[in-house]
Structure 1
Amino acid sequence: MGTESSTAPATVRTSRQILFGPLTRNAGLIACGTPLIVLWQLCEALVPVMIGVTIDVGVETGDLGPFLLSCLAIAVIFTFLSYGYRFGATFMNRAVQLESHRIRLEVAGQAVLPADDPKLAGEWLSLATADADKVSLLVRQFGFTVASVVTVGATAVYLARTDVTLALVILFGVPITVGITQLVSPVVARRTEREQAAIARVAGLGGDLVAGLRPIKGIGAEDAASGRYRASSRAARASSIVTARSWGYMTGLTTVVSGLFLAVVAWLAGSKAMEGDLTLGELVAIVGLTQFLAEPIALLGALTAQFAASTASARRLHTALASPVLILDGPDRLPAGVPRELRLRRATTSSLTEVDLTCGPGQLVAVVCDRPASADSLIGLLDGSVRPDGGAVTIAGVDLRSLAAADRRATLLVVPHEASPPEGTIRTAIDPDGTLDPATLDEVLTASAGHDVVAAHPDGLDHAVRSGGSSLSGGQRQRLTLARSLAVAPPVLVLRDPTTAIDAVTEQQIATGLQSRLGRDTATLVVTTSPTLLAAADHVVWIREGRVVRVAPHHVLQEDPRYREEVLR
């Protein structure tokens, strides 16, 4: 296809901005949640300390007052512990979900734009789910990392007041332990990135396979298609196993190293208690703190690998969001009061040569192409997926390439041949916003011959429609797609082969329905070889070998045997 060099949108963020953007955009929620998470961790550390105090001031002395006071203090600590985590996690998880949603919307917005290097639907799905989640989890990771660092520091301070040697062991031992576990983090990060890419590929291939199942069956390519998917799936499975094994090695290393470190701390504390340097309560507190420290040390040990996984996802998101698109938000707006006339002026692509074509308000214009490539290029020029090598495409005199996106969406609707209704009901497939009054809905159904689709099901308009219209026949899908397009009532409507799966009688009803709506000043362009639709058109643009050879009504063009061959074959 003839295309100009595309341009990435100017607002695309760098991978670093994608990675750290969640922290700045959710600063308020993080500022509320992080102190509460820190409070929760500190209270967990205080539990063994207070148990030790209770033993020293209440159990050993037998004094009931201090004992009850210590028990009350433990109850208060557990209250703060419970509510600190409850509300802290609520703030942090809210930030994670909001950020995931933002990224998903950004990915979805990019996915619907035509691009030079389009991705499969499954790849976009992987970006909008797995990668969006990994980047967003950096918010939660930040809060728990701060809490772990503060708690380890607070534990060292307590131990410094109890025994300087133990405090020094904690202060030097924790960084060494965390450092040892980082030896395998780069390997885990690289394998995680490869795993994400492999999963995205197999998801894209799987979605593509399901979407093209009928053509695959039609040409008997089931074995070849399933073989490709099986090979890709096995590669993704192998990558996932390798990554899981790496995470297991890192977790095992963290557990062993931190376990040895904490055993040393417990041995030192026990030795000092045997020598009389520590009370029984202090020994209990130190042993309890030693057990508690296993969790923050493990979290800090996995920090690098988790951050690397988030970084890899941010890079993948940046690559996808920064990929060149063919439709940009232009500076020009459509002038008010000017008829929405669609015009091609000497439009040239690799499959079209200096094509002139006009479709004004209230006109039904048909286009007959002798080659599918010419029809593809024509539709591509109008939906923005093909840029002309020469000439121009205009609406109301404004170049389509420089038209503001809002005006493009409000004025021009291009319906490809493979379009299908979305999941929902017949009613929502036609009128997703529920804005049509009964009279307008009836008119749309009449024009698209959709009443037969409604009558064919006991639930009528409330009949369930599966994703992609898979629960409907080909003709029913085409009629609902046409009804949905007519319900939008755009000033310029472009249809590509809208009746290929519809019988002749119903096709005549649709042709009549399209004619009946021309009084609404709709400019309707139909790319088709259907004699019924061609006969209903005001005039037909006949394109052979990429050039317009004649423009005339259908009955006039029928005098040419070559034209008859094109539309009757």
Structure 2
Amino acid sequence: MGSGEPSGRDVLARSVRGQGRRLALGSTLGCVHQLGEALVPVLIGVVVDQAVAGQDAGRLALWLAVLAVLYVCLSWSFRLGARAGERGAEEAAHTLRLAIVHRVLDPRGGAEEDRLSGELANVATEDAKRVGAVTMALMSGIWAVAGITVSALALLLTSVPLGLIVLLGTPVLLWLGHLLSKPLERRSEAEQDRAAGAAGVAADLVAGLRVLKGLGAQRAAVERYRRTSRISLAATLRAARAEAWQTGLVLALTGGFIALIAWIGGRLALDGSLTLGQLVSAVGLALFLLGPLETFAWVNTELAQGRASAARIAEVLAAGPAVVGGEEPVPDVVHGRMRLRSVRFGGLEGVDLDLPAGRLTGIAVTDPACAEALLSCLGRDADPESGSVELDGVPLTRLDPAGLRAAVLVAAHDAALFEGSLAANVSPDGGDGQDTRTDRAMAAADADEVARSLPEGARTGVGEGGRSLSGGQRQRVLLARALRAEPPVLVVHDPTTAVDAVTEARIAEGLREIRRGRTTVVVTNSPALLAVTDRVVFLDGGRVGAEGTHAELALTHETYRTAVLA
């Protein structure tokens, strides 16, 4: 990992530092609670020696009152301390989620490379939650240290041998617990990797469910997910076994340690070195130690899982951008002329292309890969291997990517709809679809007909991903959203593949009318859309094969005629 890129350790450290005040408050209150817990057996021993053995009712009432006050204090300190810790854990996880989303949405891209959307969602939810939980684990560890320290001091005052056993034995137990957590950390990371892969495959299959049904490929899709899920299950079981072994061994060591303290305390009581009350206190403190030592086992587990998740988050945050450079702001006035100079990228082989400002240009292709490569270059999702792409004479590599995306909108055919109303998916302010810009955009895309067919019109919810709409309806809503944005340059890709011929003709005319005077590029092989363009560029084999109007090319160019009309 290069310099300046966050590591898993950095992610953990920043997450904990960001909750420093809550961590300090929760730790202080927790230490007060542990002090109270440790004092309970000490006070009971005092009650036995001074009140019970002496049969003094007054002293008994006094010490019972002290115990009652102590219980109130330790109860409230625990409640308030735990609240601060839980709040810190949730805030830390939320901060990490925001950082991950910010990185994924960075205009320079790169975070999504080689990762399914479900994987990124898993990192932003489960991994962020585990790293956030480290704050609570550290606070609990501080509580446990305080509890053991107070108990050791109390035992030293009661019996030097018992106090020394606690002071010397606890670090050994902690060291052994740390060693036992290492296999869990490795297996936890593998578990999260496999779980994220399964989530990614599931999200991918759900997104393409209608297509899979249309192809009759449900069985193959289910088998793919079954294989991925089995791999994830195997990794989860390995991690669970490692956690069970670690927890079991630590508890066994802890139990043996407590038994040793109780045995030595009993021997000291038999030879008269301890009074009855001191023996009760010693045994009570030994039993109390079971809680802090079990807490250490849990803390080790949380830290192991947190380190593994932090490493996965760091990979996303440290992912290199898909495009670099570009600090120059986009001019306030964008005329919209775009030009490709000897562009070589993907399926494009040295393409020279001029897209005039204010014109509607159609681009037909023989290879879909060329269309995808062209869209990536125009939207600067990637930079060409050679050559350049310009906007109003300025190379895109010099322009700020965020400003460029506002000036040049590339509307992919597989863009997503969001849960909410149809109007909210078209209009950025989430209106009801009654403003003039939205009405014009929906009419041009024939999405107003979609709204009229819904029970509550444009206010009707479309469901997650627009699943309540048909494929053609989704396409029209997506096109309306792109038209509503009114960018200086609009590039649309196959916006009508799922609509009937009559609807497609209406959309073609509407598109031409609403974009009149603005630069518009339609990447499609649809004759209806190409027929309304001012000029068509035909990409054949990654190169410009012909240019002209749709009618001219359909009459004179056989390859074009085959690609578009066949």
Contact 1:184 1:250 in 2 (8 A): yes
Secondary structure of the residue aligned to 2:340 is strand
Given the alignment of the two structures, is residue 199 of structure 1 paired with residue 192 of structure 2, yes or no?
no
Map of 1:443 onto structure 2: 440
| Letter paired with 2:73 | F
1:489 deviation in Å? Answer: 2.2
2:86 to 86, 93, 113: 93
Following the alignment from structure 1 to structure 2, what is the Cα–Cα distance between the partners of residues 307 and 115?
A: 26
Which of 145, 150, 155 does residue 151 from structure 2 map onto?
155
Q: Aligned equivalents of 2:112 and 2:429: distance in 1?
A: 32
Structure-to-structure mapping, 1:54-453, within 5 angstroms: 54-112=47-105, 113-114=109-110, 117-328=113-324, 330-434=326-430, 438-453=435-450
Matches within 5 A, 1:477-488: 477-488=474-485
Shift of 1:115: 6.1
Q: Confirm whether residue 529 of structure 1 aligns to residue 525 of structure 2.
A: yes
Distance 1:522 1:26, change over 3 A: farther
CA shift in 2, pair 1:41/1:427, >3 Å? farther
* Deviates most, 62-71 or 17-26: 62-71
Distance 1:326 1:197 in 2: 23
Counterpart for residue 539 of structure 1: 535
Which of residues 437, 455, 460 in structure 2 aligns to 1:458? 455
Query: For structure 1, which segment, 533-542 or 263-272, has the greater mean C-alpha deviation from structure 2 after superposition?
Result: 263-272
Query: SS at 1:277's partner residue?
Result: coil
> Which segments of 5 or more consecutive residues in structure 1 lack a partner in the other structure?
1-7
Check the 8 A contact 2:504/2:528 in 1, yes or no: yes
Residue identity opposite 2:515 in structure 1: L
Q: Counterpart of 2:436 in structure 1: which amino acid?
A: A
Alignment equivalent of 1:43, drawn from 17, 36, 39: 36
Give yes or no for contact 1:332–1:398 (8 Å, CA) kept in 2. no
Aligned residues: 561
Q: Which secondary structure state, in structure 2, belongs to the residue aligned with residue 424 of structure 1?
A: coil
Task: Give % identity.
Answer: 37
TM-score by length of 2: 0.92
CA distance in 1, matches of 2:185, 2:37: 31
Give the Cα–Cα distance (whole angstroms) in 2 for the partners of residues 16 and 115 of structure 1: 20
> How far apart, CA to CA, are the structure 2 residues paired with 1:319 and 1:409?
26
1:3 counterpart residue number = none
| Aligned pair partner of 2:7 in 9, 14, 36 | 14
SS at match of 1:332: coil
Amino acid aligned to 1:541: V
Separation in 2, partners of 1:264, 1:108: 52
Distance 1:489 1:124, change over 3 A: same
Q: Could you tell me which amino acid in structure 2 is paired with residue 411 of structure 1?
A: A
Aligned counterparts of 2:489 and 2:39: Cα–Cα separation in 1: 70
Amino acid at match of 1:33: G
Secondary structure of 1:387's counterpart equals coil
Q: Provide closer, same or farther for how the CA distance between residues 427 and 43 of structure 1 changes in structure 2, counting only shifts above 3 A.
A: farther
**CA distance 1:462–1:66, shift in 2 (3 Å):** farther
The match for 1:567 is 564
Give 1:83 shift.
2.3
Tell me if structure 1 keeps the 8 A contact 2:492–2:521.
Answer: yes
| Contact in 2 for aligned 1:412/1:491 (Cα 8 Å) | yes
Between stretches 226-235 and 107-116, larger displacement belongs to 107-116
State which drifts further: 26-35 or 155-164.
26-35
5+ residue gaps, structure 2, are none
- The superposition leaves residues 220-242 of structure 1 with CA deviations (integer Å, 9 ceiling, x where unpaired) of 44333322322221122122122
- Secondary structure of the residue aligned to 2:349 is coil
Shift of 1:477: 0.5
Contact 1:334 1:396 in 2 (8 A): no
Residues 155-182 of structure 1: CA deviation (Å, up to 9, x unaligned): 1111111111111121122223334444
Distance 1:11 1:448 in 2: 46
The partner residue of 1:475 within 452, 472, 475 is: 472
CA contact (8 A) 2:346 2:369 kept: no
Distance of 2:71 and 2:397 partners within structure 1: 64
CA contact (8 A) 2:422 2:477 kept: yes
Paired residue type of 2:77: G
Amino acid at match of 2:424: T
Whole-angstrom distance in 1 between the partners of 2:25 and 2:475: 52
The amino acid that maps onto 1:455 is R
CA distance in 1, matches of 2:74, 2:414: 57
Amino acid at match of 1:417: H
Q: CA deviation at 1:10?
A: 8.3
Does the 8 Å CA contact 2:133/2:302 hold for their aligned counterparts? no
SS at match of 1:316: helix
Look up the equivalent residue of 2:28 and give its one-letter code: P
Structure 2: distance between partners of 1:546 and 1:94: 56
CA distance in 1, matches of 2:320, 2:497: 34
Q: Which residue of 2 aligns with 1:5?
A: none
User: How far apart are residue 22 of structure 1 and its match?
Assistant: 1.1
- CA 11–216 in structure 1, closer or farther in 2 if over 3 Å, else same: farther
Distance 1:301 1:405 in 2: 48
- What is the rounded CA distance, in whole Å, between the counterparts of 2:49 and 2:436 in structure 1? 84
More off after superposition, 206-215 vs 148-157: 206-215
Deviation at 1:360, TM superposition (A): 4.5
- The residue identity in structure 2 corresponding to 1:566 is A
- Provide closer, same or farther for how the CA distance between residues 114 and 489 of structure 1 changes in structure 2, counting only shifts above 3 A: farther
Q: Which moved more, 1:202-211 or 1:165-174?
A: 202-211
Contact 2:15 2:96 (8 Å CA) reproduced? no
- Which segment drifts farther, 374-383 or 315-324? 315-324
What residue identity is the alignment partner of 1:52? G
Structure 1 residues 225 and 392 mapped into 2: Cα distance closer, same or farther (>3 Å)? same
**Contact 1:416–1:496 (CA<8 Å) still a contact in 2?**
yes
**Counterparts of 1:324 and 1:173, CA distance in 2:** 47
CA apart distance, 1:127: 1.4
Q: Distance in 2 between matches of 1:91 and 1:330?
A: 43
